[in-house]
Amino acid sequence: MKSLDVKLARIVADRSCSDFILADAKDADMAYGLSAPGQSPEHYGSEATFRTLDEYRQIIREVVAQGLVDIVLMSVSTSEVLTLRERIFDVASITPAIRANDTTDIWLAGSNMRYSSDPSSPFRTASLDHAMCGKFRCLPEERKLGADLGLYSVTYNNNTELDRYALNEYKAFRLEAEEKGFRHFLEVFSPNVNNADTPKNIGKFVGDHIVRTLAGVPSRGRPVFLKIPYYGPAAMEALARYDSSLVVGILGGSAGTTFDAFQMLWEARKYGARVALYGRKINNAEHQLSFIYYLRAIADGNILPEEATRAYHADLRRLGVPSRRTLEDDLKATETSSSYSGVDVAKKAYSTPGISHRVSSGAANSTQPNAANEPDFSQMTAAEKVQYHLERWKRIIG
pLDDT digits (tens, 9 = 90+) for 305-318: 999 999 999 999 99
For the chain, the domain total comes to: 1
pLDDT digits (tens, 9 = 90+) for 101-114: 999 999 998 777 88
pLDDT digits (tens, 9 = 90+) for 13-53: 998 999 999 999 999 999 998 999 998 876 555 566 899 99
Which neighbouring-strand residues pair with 149?
183
- In this structure, which amino acid lies at residue 83? T
pLDDT band for position 354 (50/70/90)?
very low
What's residue 134's pLDDT?
97
Domain that holds residue 180: 3-397
When pLDDT is averaged across residues 366-386 and rounded to a whole number, the result is: 49
pLDDT digits (tens, 9 = 90+) for 288-334: 999 999 999 999 999 999 999 999 999 999 999 999 999 999 999 87
What's residue 350's pLDDT?
39
Q: What is the pTM of this model?
A: 0.85
CA distance 34 to 42: 16
What is the CATH classification number for the domain harbouring 145? 3.20.20.70
CA angle 235, 236, 242 (to 5 degrees): 90
What's residue 47's pLDDT?
60
pLDDT band for position 385 (50/70/90)?
low
CA distance 234 to 249: 15
pLDDT digits (tens, 9 = 90+) for 206-224: 999 999 999 999 999 999 9
What's residue 126's pLDDT?
96
Is residue 352 pLDDT above 70, yes or no?
no
| Mean pLDDT, the chain, whole residue set | 87
pLDDT digits (tens, 9 = 90+) for 161-176: 999 999 999 999 999 9
pLDDT digits (tens, 9 = 90+) for 250-277: 999 888 899 999 999 999 999 999 999 9
What's residue 381's pLDDT?
60
